[in-house]
Amino acid sequence: MKIIAIDVGNSETTIGVGNSQGWQGYRFTTRKTVTSDELLMMFKTIIDNPLIKEGLIEGAIICSVVPEITNSVSEATSRFISKDVLTVGPGVKTGLKVNIDNPKELGPDRIANSIGGYSKASSEVIVVDLGTATTFDIVNTKKEYLGGSIAPGIKISLDALTSKTSSLKSVELETPKNVIGKNTYEAIQSGLILGHTSMIDSMIEKIILESGLKPKIFITGGLGKVIQPLLNIKSKYEEDLTLDGLEEIYKLNN
C-alpha cells in the first residue's frame, strides 16, 4: 500500500509519498494564508513521483496543527491524486486510548507520533519531537496515552533570545565543540543545543521515575538529528515517525 501522508506543522509542512518501508519526502514552509489552488500548483511543481504519475497511490492522510489551512491542504491533496483524503480528528479511529483530562486537546501530530512510536516499540514508549515546540508523549503497554510535556523549541528559544536582546545575534544550530563557550557565538550555541539536550535527558529521567515505565525512547523532528547523538539516555532517531504513525491510522480506517 502506497499513500501520501502530510504533517502540517506550525513552521514546516512535511509530505511523504510511499509507506513506512520508504518515504520520498518533501518539505516547505507553512503559510497560514495559502489557498488550495496555490498548494495544488506547488504539489504539481515539487512532487515528482512515479507512484503518483502511474496512479498507484491508494489515498492520503493529513494531520494538521494549523486549522486555518487544514481544509485547503485536504482539498489540494484530493485534487492532486483524485482520491479521498482522511484528516486526523474527531471521528477518526486511531487505536490509541487517550487518558488525559480533555482528549480533544491532544494535537493530531502528537497522536501520530504516539502511534508511530508504539508501532515500532510494540510496548511502552516515550516520543520526543523537536519541532517548533519540543514535545514529550508517553504511551504504556496497553496503548494508552498517559500524557506528556511541551517545552519551547530550540528555534523559538533562539528567536526569543535574539529579538529580546540588543547585542546577541543569531547562530547556526550546530553542536558546539565545548560546553564552555569562548565567545558569545559559542556560548549561545552551548546554551541552546547542549542546554536543550540536558533538559531532554532530565525530563525523560523524571518521566520514567514518575510513571514507573521502562520505555523505548524515540527522537524525531527537524532538530532531532542534531540532538539525539548528544543524549545520555539510550534512544533512537526516527526521521519519519510522524508519517509512520499517519500510515498506521490510515490503515486502521481503511
Residues 207 and 112 in one domain: yes
- 39-76 per-position pLDDT tens digit: 999 999 988 888 787 888 999 999 999 999 999 999 99
Q: Computed from CA positions of residues 142, 86, 148, 239, in that sequence, does the dihedral angle turn out positive or negative? A: positive
- Assign residue 62 the CATH number of its domain: 3.30.420.40
Residue 249 placed within a domain: no
- 171-222 per-position pLDDT tens digit: 888 999 999 999 999 999 999 999 999 999 999 999 999 999 999 999 999 8
63, 87, 111 - which closes a domain: 87
- Residues that are catalytic: 109
Residue 43 placed within a domain: yes
Residue ranges making up the domain that contains 68: 3-87
Residues 76 and 104 in one domain: no
Sheet holding 216-220, edge to edge: 97-98, 144-152, 133-139, 125-130, 216-220, 236-237
87, 108, 123 - which closes a domain: 87
Residues 75 and 103 in one domain: no
Residue 92 placed within a domain: no
Q: Is the pLDDT of residue 152 over 90?
A: yes
Q: Computed from CA positions of residues 238, 242, 245, 250, in that sequence, does the dihedral angle turn out positive or negative? A: negative
Residues 59 and 104 in one domain: no
Look-up of cell digits 485547503? 72
Residue 165 is predicted with a pLDDT of: 85
The pTM for the full model equals 0.93
Domain tally for the chain? 2
Residues 73 and 169 in one domain: no
**Separation CA 189–CA 174 (nearest Å):** 7
